[in-house]
Amino acid sequence: MVNIKINGKPVEVQEGKTILEAARENNIHIPTLCYLKDLNQIGACRMCLVEIKGARALQAACVYPVSEGLEIYTNSAKVRNARKATLELILSNHERKCLTCIRNRNCELQKLCEELGIEDIRYEGKNIEYELDTSSPSLVRDNNKCILCRRCVAACKNQGISVIDCVERGFNTHIAPYFEKPINDAACIYCGQCIVACPVGALYEKNDIPQVNEAIDDSEKHVVVQVAPAVRAALGEEFGLPIGTPVTGKMVAALKRLGFDKVFDTDTGADLTIMEEGTEFIERFTKGENLPIITSCSPGWVKYCEHNYPEFLPNLSTCKSPMEMFGAVIKSYYAEKEGINKDKIFSVAVMPCTSKKFEASRSEHTTSGGRDIDVSLTTRELARMIKQAGIDFVNLPDEQFDTPFGEATGAGVIFGTTGGVMEAAIRTVYEILEKKPLDDLDVKAVRGLDGVKEATLKIAGKDVKVAIVHGTKNAKTILEKIKNGEKYDFIEIMACPGGCIHGGGQPIVDARVKADVDVKAKRAEALYSEDRNAKMRKSHENPVIIKLYEEFFGEPCGHKSHELLHTHYVD
Ligand code: HC0
Ligand code: SF4
């Protein structure tokens, strides 16, 4: 510990901490902009400048380590003036279209203007006009709004992707994919981690709300929606509810009020995936063929594999993601059962993910003749639709998903967090192979936020070696281990850190909140609590799934399943 003084008050702080951390621990607020805890601590934006007794220049608190006897002033006139001047310079060439900006009222730059008392724009700088990069099916890059904080660059690097970086110098510095290519021509996996890292409106998802509204307004169309597991763990944040509040019932109620004809749960699709993927695993494990089987439900991970490790494509499970399985079921089984022409069905998915927009557009997912999923919206887009419709979300009653897919299990809901697909699969595979119930359904060995988790499970007298990976940077780690001879049987890989709960389509949390709150852990706990309280916790016990096999598919991995529920990603 070291003894320092902040604004004249003596405090004891752990050695190695930065001034910013020391101040925050003592409830002293220092503004930041480029700072993103553990990801981007580079002292670039100069918003966190502080005065240090005896030092000639002001110092960036986010990178300056504390030391014995340091005397720091966080709010002197010199500090306030310097921060304000820096902010005014940032504003001088910022496109200040706040009223129409996607991040209006959730913008860290806007908040700083309020906090630092910016009353007018004193400097009008030269503006470079950048063209929007709309080349990707998932996201838009708008350099006119960019403040060069480099948080997106750090997030992309943390994913092990690094397709964006600063290019050129001085006033011409801007963020771009390599060789200034459109992002769609770079090896971007559309994970959207850059979007959730961005403090302003320089990165956002492709807006697909108009297509959905148009379909809802078309009386000829039967518009169905399915909602991914992780959406319910975060949607409430958009309406001021604490991080980690599960809002399943209100979310369903809101979707019904938005005018969707049927509201379904992707968790049901997840239960179906477990039947197919569990069976596929048992077949491959029994024959000792094509192991490890690697999950393929995360489209960002699939794209990463296609770009960087095509030799592992044969290891991917042939199962489509729950979203796409459900999409195929809706335009086949459901259409038949309800007597609705499949071409009149408009199938929407709400996902915590930006890459799902890309997945929905892939040619592999067109079993119905056209797109099986017509539109994939993000959690944020759903929140926007709810706000635009004037729905009082917080005071909605809890409502239930619609028949004939009204039931899902706890196994389906935990898909939304890292380790969840594996845990759900183990619950089912164990009971099929052991022919007896699993004693403890909480498979703790596969839970938690470590980037790579490994466990060896005993099932039916055999060792099953599993690994769980989240964040594509960690995918590289495990794939390299396999290349070096390490053996695994079953691997779950999710592109986003934390899994879907921290997907690129989820509500954007202010960097200052992220510094204090473990957002991933809180959202994960929302899903685990739903699982604990679920009536059913194993996919193979879901009566909807049992009926689906009886009435339509016959058996898992049978002929019809292969036609509708499986695919191959090829190089
Ligand atoms: Fe996920 Fe999924 S769990 S990818 O993270 O498998 O997006 O939530 O919907 O499809 O179920 C996302 C979340 C899904 C799918 C499921 C899987
Ligand atoms: Fe990088 Fe993901 Fe953003 Fe693409 S979407 S630029 S891969 S962080």
Taking only the tens place, the pLDDT of each residue in 73-86 is 999 999 999 999 99
Q: Are residues 313 and 330 in the same domain?
A: yes
Please report the pLDDT score of residue 125 as a whole number: 77
Is 254 in contact with 396 (CB distance < 8 Å)?
yes
Are 410 and 349 in a shared domain? yes
Last residue of a domain, one of 55, 90, 125: 90
CATH number at residue 177: 3.30.70.20
Q: pLDDT tens digit string along 80-138?
A: 999 999 999 999 989 999 999 999 999 999 999 999 999 988 888 788 899 999 999 99
Q: Count H helices, E strands: the chain?
A: 20, 17
Ligand 2 in contact with 101 (CB < 6 A)? Answer: no
Residue 273, in any domain of the structure: yes
Selecting among 297, 319, 496, 557, the annotated active-site residue is 297
| pLDDT value of position 458 | 94
Residue 450's identity, in one-letter code, is D
Ligand 1 center to 323 CA (angstroms): 7
Say if residue 147 is in the same domain as residue 268.
no
Entry pTM:
0.97
- Ligand of minimum distance to the alpha carbon of 195: 2
For residue 162, the ligand 2 atom closest to its alpha carbon is 1
Span from the CA of 445 to the centroid of ligand 1 (angstroms): 21
**Structural domain includes residue 96:** no
Q: Which domain holds residue 10?
A: 2-90
Is 251 found in the same domain as 154? no
| CB hemisphere CA count around 46 (13 angstroms) | 14
Q: Kindly state whether residues 196 and 247 are assigned to the same domain.
A: no
What ipTM score was computed for the predicted complex, to two decimals?
A: 0.93
Give yes or no: residues 172 and 228 share one domain. no
Of 205, 280, 381, 423, which one is the catalytic site residue? 280
Q: Is residue 120 one of the residues assigned to a domain? A: no
Measuring CA to CA, which residue among 471, 452, 450, 455 is closest to residue 521?
Answer: 450
Tell me, yes or no, whether 127 lies in a domain. no
pLDDT in tens, 138-171: 999 999 999 999 999 999 999 999 999 999 998 8
Q: Is the CB of 202 under 6 A from ligand 2?
A: no
Q: Please tell me whether residues 218 and 170 are part of one structural domain.
A: no
Q: Domain for residue 429, yes or no?
A: yes
Query: Is residue 133 a part of any domain in this protein?
Result: no
Q: Quick one: 246 and 374 in the same domain?
A: yes
Q: How many domains does the chain have?
A: 3
Q: Indicate whether 43 pLDDT > 90.
A: yes
Q: Could you tell me if the CB of 498 is within 6 A of ligand 1? A: no
Mean pLDDT of the chain: 96
**Do residue 273 and residue 293 come from a single domain?**
yes
Output the domain CATH number for residue 42.
3.10.20.740
* Ligand 2 atom closest to 355 (CA): 5
Question: Looking at ligand 1, which residue's alpha carbon is closest to its atom 11?
Answer: 270
Binned at pLDDT 50, 70 and 90, residue 571 comes out as low
- For residue 503, the model assigns a pLDDT of 98
H or E element at residue 473: helix 472-483
Q: Give yes or no: 5 in active site.
A: no
| Angstrom distance (rounded) from CA 139 to CA 129 | 19
310-338 pLDDT, tens digit each:
999 999 999 999 999 999 999 999 999 99
CATH number at residue 435: 3.40.50.1780
- pLDDT digit string (tens) for 494-545? 999 999 999 999 999 999 999 999 999 999 999 999 999 999 999 999 999 9
Residue 405 pLDDT more than 80? yes
For residue 34, give Cα distances in angstroms to 198, 395, 442: 9, 36, 39
Q: Supply 485's token pair.
A: 């001879």
Structure tokens at 428: 């089912």
In a shared domain, residues 56 and 147? no
CB of residue 229 inside a 6 A radius of ligand 1: yes
Residue 233 lies in a domain: yes
Q: Would you tell me the crossing angle of helices 420-434 and 266-287 to the nearest 10 degrees? A: 60
Indicate if the pLDDT at residue 72 is higher than 80.
yes
| Pair (170, 228) in one structural domain | no
Greatest Cα pair distance, the chain, in angstroms, is 80
**CA distance between the termini of the chain:** 55
Which listed ligand is nearest to 159 at the C-alpha? 2
Are residues 218 and 199 part of one domain?
no
In this prediction, residue 363 carries a pLDDT of 95
Cα–Cα dist 247/531, whole Å: 14
Residue 161 near ligand 2, beta carbon < 6 Å: yes
- Asked about 280 being catalytic, the answer comes back as yes
